[in-house]
């Protein structure tokens, strides 16, 4: 853990009646360093929060937005829940799969993009949509999706 | 994000205006008048006003907000906590996002009013982690409030009225929308719902007395305090006063959010979205987010308020209206619905953990043309086994939509079994 990350985490403690309340925000900070949280980082967090490593690990694996394994440089997630699917999200996802040559859940061989699908992201009024590195791209079609994806380094 | 076409009401009136998110513009539009009036009253009076306004929680269950506030213990020296539920993960729901992005100060003013009413000194706004922009908007608004001494110590010069507001990001788990799952998550744990009792008012966040309300619920409060109960009750129905933001999605011409009085007929709600796309016929409508049983074209004139929807075996839920046209295969719908619940079950209760998996497996089998009559029997028995048997209402939420589909679209399931394939080649792709 970098000194700066540690400092930021310690500043979070006072916001919560109990230190552990800061665990989720702390995991985000640690994850921002390498893109995932490995078992060493989890152990460090456990020590800092005076928890057992298993306590941290079980939190890490409960939530979709925490990663315990290395990820592609970019994340592309297509929403496939009902309102998006009704407006063609699954065909869109298949088009992206063949454009990238990977299946949903995989990372391209060059480590550039991890492709995934997600449940409803609160964007049903602007469906279909995808989340690219955390930001929403809405009212999509395959042409636009490819344009956005090809623009990633 | 789409801007709400302002239809009728008060919440979204100024949402087209970017500046409405800043304190000065918000105040210029009457912002903080509600809080000012609340602070001139005793906290108990504020609770009474909210009770008689009859504002029903907009998070899905529709419980009277003032009533909930009155459950907070009065004679206690334990600090009290407010939690604002911005987890909005119910498929088909996207209204809270709009309020957070366009009216963050409405939410904060509502929180301050509630804090005064129940005596809370700490408020957490729990926002789903994927909502980056809403989180940014709320953080900016909270910062402005601290700068203007509208939160922190002695708010608005009121001695002893101290309230800290913390914006907290979730990390991707539908179950953290359930209020006790949310509390566990806020405490830095897995978001597994708690057994009740004890209820949050006695044992909530970090063991402290806590009230949990939805984003939209808080956003209505300033208008009630400022303009009064009679004015508020001028919108909506006797049992469901006020407006709401109906989110219309799926097979309509112009999906979006529409602020309308509660009780607006379903036909009119869908009409604001331009009606069913391409002049096609309607097949079904899920009226209140994915957990709620589906309606048929026979229900098109039902007033969209819970007291009328419950007569038809469903609920208003979050007001997320999902429209499906005649091309739609309802078994595919069942596959999408059951996949979601299988994926999101927190796994604590056997009926829920096993039942959601079974239902999904059976639906997919039927869709692939491999279903049998025994599967039909299972699709009746398994949801019935899950209902009302578990720690939280998630299992009901998983059972109800399947029961609704079986009730109204049994023919679709039977046709798959008879023909050993999906009879809807035009349906949305799976
Ligand atoms: C499975 C499940 C998911 C829920 N998700 C949400 C949610 O995302 N947002 C929300 O406000 N309420 C959600 N609720 C309802 C909350 O438990 C709680 O009733 C609500 O936040 C209370 O606020 P209200 O009374 O203002 O509606 C959910 C309930 C269940 C059972
Ligand atoms: S009903 Fe399902 S989601 Fe709710 S506590 Fe039980 S297992 Fe978890
Ligand atoms: S279903 Fe995709 S954003 Fe709601």
Q: What residue's CA is closest to ligand 1, atom 14?
A: B178
Of B207, B232, B257, which residue sits at a domain end? Answer: B232
Same domain? B53 vs B161 = yes
Q: Which CATH number goes with the domain that contains B380? A: 1.20.1440.230
- Would you state the pLDDT for residue B7? 78
Q: Is the CB of B355 under 6 A from ligand 1?
A: no
Q: Is the CB of A124 under 6 A from ligand 3?
A: yes
Same domain? B220 vs B81 = yes
Same domain? B293 vs B274 = yes
| pLDDT at residue B1 tops 60 | no
Domain count for chain B, please give it. Answer: 3
Cβ distance of B320 and A121 shorter than 8 Å: no
Per-residue pLDDT reduced to its tens digit, B8-67? 899 999 999 999 999 999 999 999 999 999 999 999 999 999 999 999 999 999 999 999
| pLDDT at residue B5 tops 80 | no
Task: Identify which ligand lies nearest to the alpha carbon of A79.
Answer: 3
Same domain? B168 vs B267 = no
Same domain? B212 vs B265 = no
Q: Residue B3 — very low, low, confident or very high, per pLDDT cuts 50/70/90?
A: low
For residue B206, give both structure tokens: 């970090």
Distance from CA of B125 to the nearest CA of A (A): 12
Q: Residue B2 — very low, low, confident or very high, per pLDDT cuts 50/70/90?
A: low
* Three-class SS state of B43: helix
DSSP B229-252: HHHHHTSB-SSSBSEEEEEEEESB
Closest-CA residue of A relative to B175 is A63
- Would you state the pLDDT for residue B349? 98
Same domain? B144 vs B92 = yes
Position B38 in a domain: yes
The ligand 1 atom at the shortest distance from the C-alpha of residue B393 is 31
Distance from CA of A109 to the nearest CA of B (A): 26
Position B106 in a domain: yes
Question: Which residue of A127, A139, A145 sits with most ligand 3 atoms within 8 Å of its CB, as the best mutation to test the pocket?
Answer: A127
B141 has a chain A CB within 8 A of its CB: no
Same domain? B202 vs B315 = no
Q: Which residues have a Cβ under 8 Å from the Cβ of B313 and sit 6 or more positions away? A: B293, B404, B407
Q: Which residues have a Cβ under 8 Å from the Cβ of B252 and sit 6 or more positions away? A: B270, B273, B274, B275, B276, B277, B323
Interface test with B, best of A119, A123, A126, A129 (most B CBs within 10 A): A119
Position B1 in a domain: no
Task: Identify which ligand lies nearest to the alpha carbon of B192.
Answer: 2
Position B157 in a domain: yes
Same domain? B43 vs B186 = yes
Per-residue pLDDT reduced to its tens digit, A92-131? 999 999 999 999 999 999 999 999 999 999 999 999 999 9
Per-residue pLDDT reduced to its tens digit, B249-292? 999 999 999 999 999 999 999 999 999 999 999 999 999 999 99
Topology, domain A3-62: Arc Repressor Mutant, subunit A (1.10.10)
| Domain ranges, ordered by start, for chain A | 3-62, 74-150
Position B136 in a domain: yes
Of B305, B325, B345, which residue sits at a domain end? Answer: B325
Same domain? B266 vs B312 = yes
What's the predicted TM-score (pTM) here?
Answer: 0.98
The ligand 2 atom at the shortest distance from the C-alpha of residue B175 is 3
Position B425 in a domain: no
Q: Which CATH number goes with the domain that contains B284? A: 3.10.20.600
> What does the pLDDT average to over B367-392?
97
Put residue B157 in one of left, alpha, beta given phi > 0 → left and psi -120 to 50 → alpha: left
Cβ distance of A86 and B250 shorter than 8 Å: yes
**A37, containing H or E segment:** none
Same domain? B319 vs B352 = no
Residue A26: half-sphere exposure toward Cβ, Cα within 13 Å: 33
Q: What angle do CA B128, B132, B135 make, to 5 degrees?
A: 75
- Would you state the pLDDT for residue A33? 95
**B123, containing H or E segment:** strand B122-127
Phi, psi (degrees; rounded to nearest 5) at B300: -60, -20
Instruction: Give percent of chain B with pLDDT exceeding 70.
Output: 99
Closest to B429 (Cβ–Cβ): which among A91, A118, A138? A91
> What does the pLDDT average to over B330-354?
98
Residues paired with B85 in a beta bridge: B126, B214
End-to-end CA distance of chain B: 26
Residue-range definition of the domain harbouring residue B145 = 18-232
| pLDDT at residue B316 tops 70 | yes
Which residue from B102, B55, B68 is spatially nearest to B179, judged by alpha carbons? B68
Task: Identify which ligand lies nearest to the alpha carbon of B393.
Answer: 1
Same domain? B257 vs B335 = no
ipTM of the complex: 0.98
Which residue from B109, B185, B94 is spatially nearest to B141, judged by alpha carbons? B109
Q: Which CATH architecture has domain A74-150?
A: 3-Layer(aba) Sandwich (3.40)
Distance from CA of B6 to the nearest CA of A (A): 15
Residues with C-beta less than 6 Å from any ligand 2 atom: B 175, 193, 345-349, 352-353, 390-392, 394-395
Position B299 in a domain: yes
Closest-CA residue of A relative to B171 is A65
């Amino acid at each position: 853990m970098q000194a700066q990350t540690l400092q930021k985490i310690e500043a979070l403690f006072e916001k919560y009646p109990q230190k552990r309340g800061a665990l989720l925000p702390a995991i985000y900070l640690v994850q921002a360093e390498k893109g995932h949280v490995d078992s060493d980082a989890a152990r460090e967090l456990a020590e800092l929060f005076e928890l057992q490593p298993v306590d941290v690990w079980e939190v890490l694996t409960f939530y979709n937005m925490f990663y315990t394994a290395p990820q592609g440089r970019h994340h592309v997630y297509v929403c496939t829940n009902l309102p998006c699917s009704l407006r063609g999200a699954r065909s869109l996802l298949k088009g992206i799969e063949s454009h990238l040559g990977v299946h949903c859940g995989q990372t391209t061989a060059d480590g550039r993009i991890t492709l995934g699908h997600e449940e409803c992201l609160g964007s049903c009024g602007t469906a279909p949509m995808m989340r690219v590195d955390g930001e929403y791209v809405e009212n999509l079609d395959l042409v636009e999706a490819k344009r956005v994806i090809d623009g990633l380094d | 994000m789409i801007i709400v076409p302002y239809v009728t009401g008060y919440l979204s009136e100024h949402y087209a205006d970017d500046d409405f998110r800043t304190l000065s513009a918000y105040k210029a539009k009457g912002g903080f008048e509600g809080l000012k009036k609340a602070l001139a009253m005793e906290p108990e009076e504020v609770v009474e006003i909210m009770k008689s306004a009859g504002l029903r929680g907009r998070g899905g269950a529709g419980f009277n907000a003032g009533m909930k506030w009155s459950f907070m213990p009065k004679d206690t020296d334990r600090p009290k906590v407010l939690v604002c539920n911005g987890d909005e993960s119910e498929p088909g729901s996207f209204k809270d996002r709009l309020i957070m992005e366009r009216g963050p100060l409405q939410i904060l003013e509502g929180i301050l009013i509630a804090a005064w009413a129940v005596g809370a000194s700490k408020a957490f706004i729990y926002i789903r982690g994927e909502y980056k922009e809403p989180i940014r908007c709320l953080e900016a608004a909270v910062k402005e409030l601290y700068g203007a001494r509208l939160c922190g110590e002695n708010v608005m010069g009121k001695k002893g009225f101290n309230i800290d507001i913390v914006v907290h990001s979730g990390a991707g788990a539908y179950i953290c929308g359930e209020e006790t799952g949310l509390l566990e998550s806020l405490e830095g744990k897995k978001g597994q719902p708690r057994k009740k009792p004890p209820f949050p008012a006695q044992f909530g966040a970090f063991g402290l007395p806590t009230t949990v309300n939805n984003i939209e619920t808080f956003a209505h409060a300033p208008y009630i305090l400022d303009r009064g109960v009679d004015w508020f009750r001028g919108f909506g129905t006797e049992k469901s006063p006020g407006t709401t933001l109906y989110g219309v999605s799926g097979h309509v011409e112009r999906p979006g959010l529409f602020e309308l009085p509660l009780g607006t007929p379903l036909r009119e709600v869908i009409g604001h979205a331009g009606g069913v796309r391409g002049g096609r016929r309607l097949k079904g409508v899920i009226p209140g987010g994915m957990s709620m049983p589906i309606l048929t074209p026979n229900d098109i004139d039902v007033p969209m308020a819970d007291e009328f929807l419950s007569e038809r075996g469903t609920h208003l839920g979050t007001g997320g209206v999902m429209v499906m046209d005649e091309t739609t295969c309802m078994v595919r719908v069942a596959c999408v619905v059951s996949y979601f619940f299988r994926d999101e079950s927190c796994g604590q209760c056997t009926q829920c953990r096993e039942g959601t998996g079974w239902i999904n497996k059976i639906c997919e089998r039927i869709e692939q043309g491999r279903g049998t009559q025994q599967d039909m029997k299972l699709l009746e028995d398994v949801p019935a086994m899950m209902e009302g048997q578990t720690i939280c209402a998630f299992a009901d939420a998983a059972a109800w939509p399947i029961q609704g589909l079986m009730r109204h679209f049994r023919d679709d399931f039977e046709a798959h079994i008879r023909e050993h394939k999906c009879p809807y080649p035009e349906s949305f792709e799976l």
